[in-house]
Amino acid sequence: MFIREIYIQRRLRLREQMKEGLVLLLGNHEAPMNYTANAYRFRQDSSFLYFFGLDEPGLAAVIDLDAGAETLFGEEVTMDDIVWMGPQPTMREKADSVGVAAVSPFGKLSETVQQAVKKGRPVHFLPPYRSFNKILLQDLTGIAPAAQAAGASVALIKAVVALRVRKEACEIAEMEKACKVGYDMHVAAMTMCRRGVKEHTIAGFIEGKAIADGYMPSFPVILSQNGETLHNHDHSQILTDGRLLVIDAGAETISHYASDFTRTLPAGGRFTPKQKEIYNIVLDANNYAINTAKPGITYAGVHLGAAKIITQGLQALGLMTGDIDESVAAGAHALFFPHGLGHQIGLDVHDMEDLGENYVGYDDDTQRSEQFGLGALRMGRVLHEGFCITVEPGIYFIPALIEQWKQENKLGQFINYQKVVEYIGFGGIRLEDDILVTPTGCRLLGEKRIPITIEEVETVINS
Ligand code: GLY
Ligand code: MN
């Protein structure tokens, strides 16, 4: 948690951007795993954390824009709670710690909201993503869960995005901590990587590191020798010579800022010549993006530049052919690179994705493409100083996709299918770093870059 003044300032800036009515911000509640008292590890809502800092279940807040008043809603702990959980601060102490003037029992929230609804005052809320809050919101506003995303306040979404998207110095310091844990997770994985080791032994170990050194992984660990499946959470295989191990994992700090890194390792300790060729194309695309990203240019443009590097590299290996600009414009590279170059990162690993990807990654000047591949780019808008984003190009050989495109001879003028089928079984390669956009360019987040060149990776694995 940051100092009180940070939260006071953030709410002041939010109020300056909003006109009238109530802003309703719902915290999260315990989410039962298999019975009520056995809950998943608690994760507070990120926007609630951003404006109110309080990291515990059962809270909500209302900002009355017309009266300029802020109220924190929640229950005082009972003696039973103290017996099971230990001493707890009072609601008044919690509100004071983040500079909120008024506190109220949680049960009064419906009265406050319903009074506003009755008077026809706008009640601004964010799109809820948890069932508990969808039901609560229905009780408060009368809006059925299915209609809540559409009923969410665009003005509030835009105001929250505008604030959260540019990271403050205190946030960047937290992201650096998350990157440090992410570094340790990936280097630990490298030192464990050898023939005969089970994937889930590595996945479990690095997940434990995220918990031991931070709060938890910033998302369920992606780790598989079938790395051509972009988000593969199956860790059931044994590391085998000649295969590639994709590890996409990051950490969340106690204050809930995230890191997100991907490295691809030779499962048996050494890359084959064929793997090295593809690996270095992905590395070139990653380095290109880091060398190119700067304020004033669109990330969609950086994505297309990375796609060009991938196309050039695959042409040099005989997998692709034809005019490079036309090939990229047609989206031929998406057979191999079917996802986006990156996304915003912050309190969420895909920062603010709950508010709607297009509000975060696009704006009136940069619209999302519908083309396969480019359409998966979560973040395409103009870059500004203070943005934290991921850089994660990849090349994958996805058998079902190759089979479909080959049968249709899709974009056959740019793809040499005879050669492509020789790579079925290759797997995939993704290399991901996290960057901060600076006044003149960008810099890597994290004190040290996780080993990434072929030589660096093989050295750590075999050390
Ligand atoms: N690291 C997972 C993702 O970016 O989707
Ligand atoms: Mn990512």
Amino acid at 370: E
Per residue in 110-145, pLDDT (tens digit) is: 999 999 999 999 999 999 999 999 999 999 999 999
Mean pLDDT of 376-396: 98
Q: Which residue ranges make up each domain of the chain?
A: 4-164, 169-461
Fold classification of 169-461 is: Creatine Amidinohydrolase (3.90.230)
The confidence score (pLDDT) of residue 232 equals 95
The confidence score (pLDDT) of residue 342 equals 98
Q: Give the closest residue to 264 by CA, choosing from 186, 162, 359.
A: 186
Per residue in 174-183, pLDDT (tens digit) is: 999 999 999 9
In angstroms, rounded to a whole number, what is the distance separating the alpha carbons of residues 443 and 78?
A: 49
For residue 138, report the distance from its CA to the centre of ligand 2, in Å. Answer: 33
In angstroms, rounded to a whole number, what is the distance separating the alpha carbons of residues 243 and 227?
A: 10
Local confidence band at 257 (pLDDT 50, 70, 90 cut-offs): very high
Mean pLDDT of 88-109: 98
Mean pLDDT of 286-310: 98
- Element holding 140 (H helix, E strand): helix 131-141
Mean pLDDT of 27-54: 97
For residue 172, report the distance from its CA to the centre of ligand 2, in Å. Answer: 17
Local confidence band at 38 (pLDDT 50, 70, 90 cut-offs): very high
Compute how many other C-beta atoms are within 10 angstroms of the C-beta atom of residue 272: 15
Mean pLDDT of 377-392: 98
| DSSP label at residue 41 | P
Homologous superfamily of domain range 4-164: Creatinase/prolidase N-terminal domain (3.40.350.10)
The confidence score (pLDDT) of residue 219 equals 98
Per residue in 191-206, pLDDT (tens digit) is: 999 999 999 999 999 9
On whether the CB atoms of residues 391 and 344 are closer than 8 A, the answer is no
Q: Which ligand is nearest to the CA of 218?
A: 1
In 3-state terms, what secondary structure has residue 61? strand
In angstroms, rounded to a whole number, what is the distance separating the alpha carbons of residues 214 and 264?
A: 23
For residue 260, report the distance from its CA to the centre of ligand 1, in Å. Answer: 7
In angstroms, rounded to a whole number, what is the distance separating the alpha carbons of residues 242 and 257?
A: 36
Would you say the pTM of this structure is higher than 0.95? yes
Amino acid at 261: F
The confidence score (pLDDT) of residue 74 equals 98
In angstroms, rounded to a whole number, what is the distance separating the alpha carbons of residues 405 and 409?
A: 6
Beta strands in 68-150 (DSSP E): 69-73, 102-104, 123-125
The confidence score (pLDDT) of residue 450 equals 98
- CB-defined site of ligand 1, < 6 Å: 219, 248, 260
Whole-number average pLDDT of the chain: 97
Q: Give the closest residue to 239 by CA, choosing from 201, 206, 194, 270.
A: 194
Q: Which atom of ligand 1 is nearest to the CA of 342?
A: 4
Torsion (CA) 38, 40, 46, 47 in degrees, nearest 10: -40
Pairing label, strands 394-396, 428-430: antiparallel
Residue 204 backbone dihedrals phi, psi, to 5 degrees? -65, -40
Bridge partners (DSSP) listed for residue 320:
415
Q: Which atom of ligand 1 is nearest to the CA of 343?
A: 4
Per residue in 145-193, pLDDT (tens digit) is: 999 999 999 999 999 999 999 999 999 999 999 999 999 999 999 999 9
Residue 124 backbone dihedrals phi, psi, to 5 degrees? -90, 120
Mean pLDDT of 34-55: 97
Per residue in 217-249, pLDDT (tens digit) is: 999 999 999 999 999 999 999 999 999 999 999
Ion ligand 2: residues, CB < 5 A: 260, 390
